[in-house]
Amino acid sequence: MNSVRTFRATAAALGFALVLTGCGQKPGVHVDGGTGGGAAPLAGGETGDGVTDDGFTDDGFADADGDGLDDTSGESFDSSGGAVVDDGSAGGDPASDPGAGGGGTTDGGGSTDGGGSGGAGGTTGGGSTDGTSGGGGGGGGGTREVTGTDRTGVTDDKITLAIHAPVTGAAPLPSTSFEKARDMYWRWITEAKGETVLGRKKVEVLFKDDKYDPNSARQACRELEAKAFLTVGGGGTDQIQACGQFAQVAKTPYFSAGVTEKGLGGNPWYFASSMTYRQQGVLLGSYVAKNFSGKKVAAIVTDTPNFDDAVQGWDQGRKQAGLQNYYKTLRHPKSDTSWYSAFAQDLKNAGVEVLYINTSPVDYIRFAQQASQQGFRPQFVGVGVTMGLNPVLQSGCDAVDGGVFFSPFPGLDKVDSLDPEFNKAAAKFGLPNDDLSLALWGIARQQHELFKRYEKTFGKDLTREDFRALTEAQGSLKTTIFPEVGYSQQNHFGGKQVHVLKADCATERHKTLATFVSGF
């Protein structure tokens, strides 16, 4: 690669590999608020976000303060942005369902059963999650009695799921792979293999654009959660946090890749599907200490409260690992780009050789390009999921070549050995088999395994309350793509492992250094 490529919007908002974008409609997929074509004229008093100027949503939902909660419910978010507070005026308890628990934090370092020089030597877990889910409609077959009553999104022949992600707004993600491949896994199971999911022959996927804005995300999630059994957060820490909090009000199971823990701890309805930033930070400290011993290290992290726990985890990890030659942690503002040049010069003058960076993809790429022009070419390292996506290389090479990042899914070079059905499904349906498609496949495998365990426990009568209770009782959940997770009533930040990827600009792909790693 002989020149710095023009930055492209494809990498501008790669907030999370599970983002599903789209316009139009695919089999088994319904899209609300897509980006296709021009918008229709709005009625008087509407702003286009589903909320009228008088503070009521189009269906009469009162939300003058824009927090996504009904202003007449007596509920609000606490001052720290944490769990929902009920003043008692509406009655009820967001966590009063059977077996409700919390989402406490964990140290995240994991056991030291992996590792190795250069990131190699991680342990491998997770067997196949194939197998039928049985036939017929709802009802019967389990060992425990169903006690829940909320069957939203469940019919005799279909289960409806939902995903929100940024398609428009400050950081859109115009990825055709997400649009085309979002239901590939479920089509493979139901159409190609002829299996059912809890006796249902179809899994439908709803999608809504959250506009890369927390208030819009809450509104999008309110609408999705009225139709779908569970919701997945696609991208953007602030949006995931907002919808995760709202899921506690709606009492809807909510999953996302691990991001911030702030505002999500203690929420019985939120589940992190991979290690959080804080947990990964602990692990990254030990990785850097082992693989870059003696080199001068520093960090750049976005200056937002939602990344404070990422810094705390990193500080904990590097200190525990005995990392000695540490310069400092720089926090950059979100409002300007003047820090690119200033930080690059500071770190260059200090002789920094290894740099942990946790920021948006656009800032990562532009900083790397600016730093390279100033003669500063550090070894980049970081947590997942954003920087380990191949579109980052299509926009950022050669400046980001060799960067090592954790990820909840492996590189494409390891797919056939871990889950050969992925490429078979892509070929059968004529769909992309890139890393964005793999991310969607991985999260769907995780959800499918939970559905299988639910059927063994409760039978085919699927309720939100019982599914939530079953999920938090899973001390170990292993699948073919995503690393192991494990939950309890006290801990919904269940990530236990990561994959380790390295950027290769020669192929514009990330190569896999290690899979299913829990320690170094």
Q: ω into residue 398 within 30 of 0, thus cis?
A: yes
Question: Strand, coil or helix: what is 404?
Answer: strand
Q: Is 244 helix (H, G, I), strand (E, B) or coil?
A: helix
Which residue stretches of 351-404 are H helix? 361-373, 390-396
Pairing of strands 29-32, 202-209: parallel
Q: Is the pTM of this model over 0.95?
A: no
What DSSP letter does each residue of 457-520 carry, written as one string?
A: HHBS---HHHHHHHHHT-S-B--SSSPPB---SS--B-B--EEEEEEETTTTEEEEEEEEE---
Residue 445 · residue 18 · CB < 8 Å: no
Pick the closest to residue 240 from 266, 261, 223 (CA basis): 261
Determine the longest span between alpha carbons in the chain, in angstroms: 68
- Structure tokens, 109: 């370092």
> What residues have CB less than 8 Å from 134, skipping those under 6 apart?
141, 196, 198, 199, 455, 460
C-beta atoms surrounding 423 within 10 Å: 15
Q: In this structure, what token pair is assigned to residue 365? A: 């790429």
pLDDT, one tens digit for every residue, the chain (520 residues): 444 343 433 333 343 333 333 233 333 444 444 333 333 322 323 333 333 333 323 333 344 443 344 444 444 444 333 434 333 333 333 333 434 444 443 333 333 333 333 333 333 333 333 333 333 345 556 789 999 999 999 999 999 999 887 777 655 444 667 668 888 999 999 999 999 999 999 999 888 888 889 999 999 999 999 999 999 987 788 999 999 999 999 999 999 999 999 999 999 999 999 999 999 999 999 999 999 999 999 999 999 999 999 999 999 999 999 999 999 999 999 878 999 999 999 999 999 999 999 998 889 999 999 999 999 999 999 999 888 889 889 889 999 999 999 999 999 999 999 999 999 999 999 999 998 889 889 999 999 999 999 999 999 999 999 999 999 999 999 999 999 999 999 999 999 999 999 999 999 999 999 999 999 9
Check if the beta carbon of residue 432 is closer than 8 Å to that of residue 176: yes
**What is the rounded (10 degree) CA torsion for 339, 340, 341, 343?**
60
Overall size of the chain counted in residues: 520
Of 220, 210, 223, 224, the C-alpha closest to 170 is 210
Give the C-alpha separation, 411 to 409, whole Å.
Answer: 7
